[in-house]
Amino acid sequence: MSDYRALLARARERIPHAMSSGARVLLTDPEVLVEGKNTVIRNFGDIVDSIRREPLHLLQYLLKELGTAGNIDGRRAILKRKLSEQQVKERLGSYMATYVMCTECNRPDTHLVKEDRIMILECEACGARRPVKQMKAQQTEKVPVLEERKVYEVMIEDLGKKGDGIARVDQYVIYVPGTSKGSKVRIFIEKISGTVAYARLATE
């Protein structure tokens, strides 16, 4: 289960009934759609409204983390790269853990303030305060996304010159023989060389 799902479940369990039944919807699930070579978050406006953050702040975070360009189009966000729903949700989960969720009471009712060039997250529910940069630094220390001899579920986004399927997970480009464009498959990673991985269909 992604970080996004875990944060969503935890937040909804802990908020008071009166708050959960109010007008503001908390932690809206992203509606992700691939259009050609682009990925569209159709309800981007609803997401930023629900977590009360500036659209440009969230967009810039996603573009940096996902290594792509993009823009806001009305209530949608358009990312100039094919991405899976899981990739988008994971980055949204990281954003919420860093810029939204209170680490003391686990509620999303917070706001950001700047003090001496340091961004501070203030909780409106319990009054806790913490610097955002310190939390961000802790989160970047994570295990590699892909490991050899492990099974993953991916979407085949393109076909290579030799007909092999191509999937992408974070910075990795994965070649999977015997697959077709647009299919979701379970793969076994045989070898990783830099940011290129070679896999086969999982037999499990």
Domain of 119, CATH number, reads 3.30.30.170
Residue 42 and residue 86 in one domain: yes
- Asked if residue 154 lies in contact with residue 167, where contact means CB atoms within 8 angstroms, the answer is yes
Residues of the chain with pLDDT under 50: 1, 15-25, 134-143
Output the pLDDT for position 53.
Answer: 93
Helix axes 132-139, 85-99, angle to 10 degrees: 140
pTM: predicted TM-score of the whole model, two decimal places: 0.57
Q: Say how many domains are in the chain.
A: 2
Output the pLDDT for position 41.
Answer: 96
Q: Which residue segment(s) compose the domain that 180 sits in?
A: 151-201
pLDDT tens-place string over residues 81-105: 989 888 898 899 889 989 998 888 8
